[in-house]
């Protein structure tokens, strides 16, 4: 059984992923500067305190185990895997916003995190809906 993609899929894929990267990675730093929130370091954990560090790692481990189970159970369907990854990103961003609201002095931090959470959610929903349009079916 051979799988194929529809014509124009890869061009649209690059456009959709570029829009996702802009929404999830490009806009939040601009918002942080504009709203006066603390600057985040790229590719670091930015734990505010020990509670945040432990909670963040619990979320990561839980979703990693869930991710492995979903990959094994739903081998032929990538949508549950994408949904698991989406919930992981949303949970981590939501927990980050909660900790910033509860423990930081700069009130703009949690506001930017909530906006970032909504941008990620909108981008993920858009990507999932777009992928559903291009269900790749076997030839034959």
CA atoms within 13 A on the CB side of 136: 15
* CA distances for 28 relative to 35, 47, 50, 87, angstroms: 10, 18, 25, 19
User: How many angstroms separate the CA atoms of 54 and 60, rounded?
Assistant: 10
Residue ranges of alpha helices (H) inside the chain are 9-21, 27-35, 50-73, 79-103, 108-133
Q: Average the pLDDT over each of 65-69, 76-80, 107-111 and give the range with the smallest value.
A: 76-80
Mean pLDDT of 49-74: 94
Computed over every residue of the chain, the mean pLDDT equals 84
Q: How confident is the model at residue 139 (pLDDT cuts 50, 70, 90)?
A: very low
pLDDT at residue 138, rounded to an integer: 46
pTM, 2 dp: 0.78
Q: How confident is the model at residue 119 (pLDDT cuts 50, 70, 90)?
A: confident
pLDDT at 102 over 50: yes
- Structurally, the chain folds into a number of domains equal to 1
Contact 131, 80 (CB under 8 A): no
Q: How confident is the model at residue 135 (pLDDT cuts 50, 70, 90)?
A: low
Q: How confident is the model at residue 134 (pLDDT cuts 50, 70, 90)?
A: low
User: How many angstroms separate the CA atoms of 37 and 99, rounded?
Assistant: 14
Radius of gyration (C-alpha) of the chain in whole angstroms? 18
* Residue 130 burial (CB count, 10 A): 16
pLDDT at residue 58, rounded to an integer: 96
User: How many angstroms separate the CA atoms of 17 and 112, rounded?
Assistant: 22
pLDDT at 68 over 60: yes
Domain region containing 24: 2-39+46-139
């Amino acid at each position: 059984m051979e799988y194929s993609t529809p014509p124009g899929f890869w061009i649209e894929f690059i456009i959709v992923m570029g829009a996702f990267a802009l929404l999830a990675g490009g806009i939040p730093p601009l918002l942080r500067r504009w709203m006066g929130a603390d600057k985040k370091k790229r590719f670091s954990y930015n734990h505010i305190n020990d509670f945040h560090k432990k909670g963040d790692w619990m979320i990561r481990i839980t979703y990693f185990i869930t991710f492995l189970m979903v990959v094994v159970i739903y081998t032929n369907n990538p949508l549950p895997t994408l949904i698991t990854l989406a919930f992981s990103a949303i949970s981590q961003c939501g927990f980050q916003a909660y900790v910033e609201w509860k423990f930081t002095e700069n009130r703009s931090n949690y506001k930017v995190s909530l906006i970032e959470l909504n941008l990620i959610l909108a981008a993920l929903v858009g990507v999932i809906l777009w992928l559903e349009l291009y269900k790749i079916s076997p030839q034959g």
